[in-house]
């Protein structure tokens, strides 16, 4: 039976200076802030091996959307179409991902992730061919929707840490923070790599490379059987994590937060219209990555109440910076604004994922985390479509209003959540 987050001892829920809930550990502890918790984390046998494969599998996470937008917009001359196609694929993933995760919970990571990845890679290759051969627009939607079986490799990695460090809240705090930083690394290097490949080689190069990296990484990750969590028996009458008290309200927050990411990405690509877009999106992820690493190396606070709302408040304030910077017409100013805008992302996501883990029964952990990712992907889909429409019809500067509005919605939804959910 899930219990209140506030009744637990500390886990992955410590804010950083960009978050109003930051708890200063004091001068003595501040001097000791280092990556030593991460060194201890990777001293765990097998941790480095499964992390290496997982990072390789997750890098395309930051490549596919950017590659698709560049590839489709370049071939068809429409950012609205490109945004709608990526939104369709993400929406399809949002529907399919929980079922894939449920299969992982019931049958194990290796038995499910490998065939699911193969199907997703075929969908990416189909999209590439449809664009390359000038197929009708509807085929682009169908092909990208076929990538919906992509497994949640980040969730599977978090499940491995939860299994390896069960009963050790401090280690789980560091592990969750590292995983969020790893996500940001993928979004930092992925867009840059995608933009470079698409511009330096050929428009479909980013999608092709992403498919190869994804399949290779999943094969390496699932080969590490020693750290794979055993399949947990589902209690009789076990319910979906979606029906757990407080989960629906939390997922609504994730949905709005995802819209921030999707709209910011498409608007930035449209605003810069070139390889520089990937670099600037990478800077935004770099700000979040740095915040995530700091987040995992400071002392966790005891209470989670209100921290998610506080971090979302910081995100809302920081998302106004790209809007103001875009009005100046200066790419360096926009780069600095995006770097700062990313500072609240990791603390928000780590805090949210911590709440998901506490609300989810162990036998459904992959499904619970997949529901969170599904909500984020659904938000990214809506944000991509809305951002693409705004950039094309209202202008790219006004497109930056969309992530501000989405962040505000996430803040209001979080503030409206029941205090003990």
Dihedral sign, Cα of residue 65, residue 366, residue 406, residue 385: positive
More confidently predicted of 256 and 225: 256
Res. 20: pLDDT tops 60: no
Distance CA 418, CA 245 (A): 10
Q: How far is CA 400 from CA 77, 279, 323, 355, in A?
A: 21, 18, 5, 29
User: Residue 219 has what pLDDT?
Assistant: 92
User: Residue 50 has what pLDDT?
Assistant: 87
**pLDDT range class, residue 239, cuts 50, 70, 90:** low
Tell me the mean pLDDT in the region 173-192.
78
**pLDDT range class, residue 14, cuts 50, 70, 90:** very low
User: Residue 301 has what pLDDT?
Assistant: 58
Q: Burial, 276: exposed, middle or buried (Cβ in 10 Å; 0-12, 13-18, 19+)?
A: middle
Res. 146: pLDDT tops 70: yes
More confidently predicted of 369 and 149: 149
More confidently predicted of 357 and 348: 348
State both tokens at 400: 């930056």
Residue 372: which of 24, 97, 74 has the closest Cα? 97
**79, 263 Cβ separation under 8 angstroms:** no
Residue appearing with tokens 């909500």: 375
Tell me the mean pLDDT in the region 47-74.
84
Kind and range of the H or E element at 139? helix 137-145
Alpha carbons within 13 angstroms on the beta-carbon side of residue 5 total: 29
290-320 tens-digit pLDDT: 887 787 776 655 566 677 888 899 999 999 9
**Domains in the chain, please, with CATH?**
10-22+46-232+241-416 (1.20.1250.20)
User: Residue 5 has what pLDDT?
Assistant: 33
244-281 tens-digit pLDDT: 777 888 888 999 999 998 888 888 888 887 667 777 77
Length of the chain: 421
**168, 12 Cβ separation under 8 angstroms:** no
State both tokens at 350: 């780590």
Q: What is the mean pLDDT of the chain?
A: 78
Single pTM value for the model:
0.69
User: Residue 93 has what pLDDT?
Assistant: 79
Maximum distance among all Cα pairs of the chain, rounded to whole angstroms: 64
Alpha carbons within 13 angstroms on the beta-carbon side of residue 419 total: 2
185-201 tens-digit pLDDT: 777 777 778 888 887 88
Res. 416: pLDDT tops 90: no
Res. 326: pLDDT tops 50: yes
What is the CA angle 153-154-159, rounded to 5? 95
**Least confident among 108-112, 326-330, 400-404, 414-418:** 414-418
CB atoms within 10 A of CB 121: 22
Residue 234: which of 138, 107, 117 has the closest Cα? 107
**Least confident among 226-240, 260-274, 393-407:** 226-240
Dihedral sign, Cα of residue 122, residue 128, residue 134, residue 138: positive
């Amino acid at each position: 039976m899930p219990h209140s987050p506030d009744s637990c001892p500390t886990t992955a829920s410590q804010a950083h200076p960009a978050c109003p809930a930051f708890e200063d550990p004091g001068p003595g502890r501040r001097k000791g802030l280092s990556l030593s918790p991460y060194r201890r984390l990777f001293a765990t046998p097998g941790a480095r091996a499964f992390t290496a494969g997982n990072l390789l599998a997750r890098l395309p996470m930051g490549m596919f959307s950017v590659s698709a937008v560049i590839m489709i917009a370049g071939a068809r001359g429409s950012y609205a179409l490109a945004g709608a196609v990526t939104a369709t694929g993400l929406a399809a993933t949002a529907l399919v991902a929980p079922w894939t995760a449920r299969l992982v919970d019931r049958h194990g990571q290796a038995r499910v992730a490998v065939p699911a990845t193969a199907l997703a890679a075929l969908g990416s290759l189909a999209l590439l061919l449809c664009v390359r051969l000038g197929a009708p627009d509807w085929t682009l939607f169908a092909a990208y929707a076929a990538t919906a079986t992509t497994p949640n490799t980040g969730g599977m990695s978090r499940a491995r840490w939860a299994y390896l460090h069960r009963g050790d809240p401090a280690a789980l705090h560091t592990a969750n923070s590292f995983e969020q930083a790893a996500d940001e690394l993928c979004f930092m290097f992925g867009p840059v790599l995608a933009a470079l490949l698409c511009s330096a080689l050929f428009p479909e190069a980013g999608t092709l490379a992403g498919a190869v990296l994804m399949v290779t990484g999943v094969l390496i990750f699932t080969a590490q059987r020693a750290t794979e969590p055993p399949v947990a028996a589902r209690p009789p009458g076990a319910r979906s994590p979606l029906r757990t008290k407080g989960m629906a309200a939390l997922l609504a927050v994730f949905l709005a937060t995802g819209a921030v990411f999707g709209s910011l990405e498409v608007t930035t690509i449209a605003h810069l219209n070139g390889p520089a877009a990937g670099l600037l999106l990478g800077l935004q992820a770099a700000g979040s990555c740095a915040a995530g690493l700091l987040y995992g190396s400071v002392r966790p606070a005891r209470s989670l109440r209100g921290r998610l709302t506080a971090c979302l408040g910081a995100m809302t304030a920081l998302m106004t910076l790209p809007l103001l910077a875009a009005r100046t017409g200066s790419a360096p100013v926009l780069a600095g604004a995006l770097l700062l805008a990313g500072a609240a992302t990791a603390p928000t996501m780590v805090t949210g994922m911590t709440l998901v883990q506490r609300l989810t029964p162990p036998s459904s952990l992959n499904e619970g985390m997949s529901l969170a990712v599904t909500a984020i992907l659904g938000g990214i889909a809506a944000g991509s479509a809305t951002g693409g429409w705004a950039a094309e019809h209202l202008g790219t500067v006004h497109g930056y209003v969309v992530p501000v509005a989405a962040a505000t919605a996430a803040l209001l939804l979080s503030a409206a959540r029941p205090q003990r959910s």
